[in-house]
Amino acid sequence: MHNAISIKNLSKVYEGGFKALDNVDLEIKNGEILALLGPNGAGKTTMISIICGIVNPTSGSVSVRGHDIISDFRQARSLIGLVPQELHTDAFETVWATVSYSRGLFGRKPNPELVEQILRDLTLWDKKDTPIMALSGGMKRRVMIAKALSHEPQILFLDEPTAGVDVELRKDMWALVNRLRESGVTIILTTHYIEEAEEIADRVGVISKGRLLLVEDKTELMRKLGKKELSLQLAEPIGELPGTLRRDDLELVNGGQEIVFNYDTQAERTGIASLLADLNKEGIVVKDLDTKQSSLEEIFVRLVEESR
């Protein structure tokens, strides 16, 4: 069976020469929840827009369950639901009409029971006869989600779904995402909120300056969370680490005044005692020490900074 989405060597250069995506390769598995994390302007929306056929790629290819997004556009697009970042929908139509019409756009037969279920799930049922323009911003966002679900997509894109939404909608949204996942829908969401990715995603991808820096299982990232940093302030600065201390888990920083040791808290032996003994042997005197747990946020920030 084909993966939900298969992206190969995807690049996008906008008119004017700006490179928004740089050679992205990504396989999105069926039924997973993938969170794409990245700072403003990283290229997340561009990537989603290409997959959904809104923006043309400059080079590379994308297929949706094996359907090429260009040569087999209709098939590919019919499998996808998109909740865009910006709200745009017909102001004068009612909620019911807008959502039913969206379903029709994909050539799906009317299914009032399904539309009712979607509206109920999104707490929109009592607003079904209200024109969109009379809804609050949060309600309009719910309508965008209902529209995206109206044609029963197998893959759902949520572009910053919780930016600026209230706690209640956020809760409803995650409950809905979980239900959709249970029914086998693949979900890709973009977010700036690391806690959100931590809470909901199976895998996390980090994107910065158009490049996909990493895609990893969340549990693996959580394992990285278990990493701690020991910072050793030296009594006297040293020019470089002596040969015996040149290891991947040690770094000399701060103009030679500090050694940073990365260790795994879950390991049986942290290696701190032997490190202190080694320093002693080399005649390096430690003035003070401090430990710090690295968070997913720091891992993310470091990755993004390193890519600059």
Ligand X SMILES: Nc1ncnc2c1ncn2[C@@H]1O[C@H](COP(=O)(O)OP(=O)(O)OP(=O)(O)O)[C@@H](O)[C@H]1O
Q: How many Å is the Cα radius of gyration of the chain?
A: 24
Please report how close the Cβ of residue 297 comes to ligand X at its closest, in angstroms. Answer: 16
Interface region with ligand X, contact rule CB under 6 A, candidates 39-47, 176-184, 216-224, 273-281: 39-47
In the set 5, 10, 37, 46, which binds ligand X (CB under 6 A)? Answer: 46
Stretch that binds ligand X, among 15-23, 128-136, 181-189, 230-238 (CB under 6 A): 15-23
* Cβ neighbours, 10 Å, residue 185: 20
Q: Does 163 bind ligand X (CB under 6 A)?
A: no
Question: Per CB under 6 A, does 38 bind ligand X?
Answer: yes
Interface with ligand X, residue 14, by CB under 6 A: yes
Output phi, psi for 283, to 5 deg: 75, 20
User: Letter for the amino acid at 136?
Assistant: S
Min dist CB 14 to ligand X, Å, is 3
Q: How far is the CB of 169 from ligand X (least distance, A)?
A: 19
Min dist. Cβ of residue 240 to ligand X (A): 39
Where does this chain touch ligand X (CB under 6 A) — which range of 42-50, 142-150, 241-249, 278-286? 42-50
104 binding ligand X? (CB under 6 A):
no
- Of the two residues 62 and 99, which places its CB atom closer to ligand X in the complex? 62
The least distance separating ligand X from the CB of residue 301, rounded to whole angstroms, comes to 15
Q: Is the Cβ of residue 24 or residue 132 nearer to ligand X in the bound state?
A: 24
Question: Cα separation of 184 and 290, whole Å?
Answer: 46
**Least distance from C-beta 170 to ligand X, angstroms?**
18
- Region 18-37 residues binding ligand X, contact defined as CB under 6 A: 18, 20
Closest to ligand X by CB, 18 or 92: 18
46 vs 102, beta carbon nearer ligand X: 46
User: Residues 179 to 218: which contact ligand X by CB under 6 A?
Assistant: none
Q: What is the DSSP track for the chain?
A: ---SEEEEEEEEE-TTS-EEEEEEEEEE-TT-EEEEE--TTSSHHHHHHHHTTSS--SEEEEEETTEETTTTHHHHHHTEEEE-SS----SSSBHHHHHHHHHHHTTPPP-HHHHHHHHHHTT-GGGTTSBGGGS-HHHHHHHHHHHHHTT--SEEEEESTTTT--HHHHHHHHHHHHHHHHTT-EEEEEES-HHHHHHH-SEEEEEETTEEEEEEEHHHHHHHHTEEEEEEEESS--SS--GGG--TTEEEEGGGTEEEEEEETTSS--SHHHHHHHHHHTTPPEEEEEEEEPPHHHHHHHHHHHT-
Q: Is 54 in the site for ligand X (CB under 6 A)?
A: no
CA distance 219 to 224: 9
Q: How far is the CB of 234 from ligand X (least distance, A)?
A: 41
Cβ closest to ligand X, residue 12 vs residue 65: 12
Q: Does 40 bind ligand X (CB under 6 A)?
A: yes
Question: Interface with ligand X by CB under 6 A: which residues?
Answer: 14, 16, 18, 20, 38, 40-46
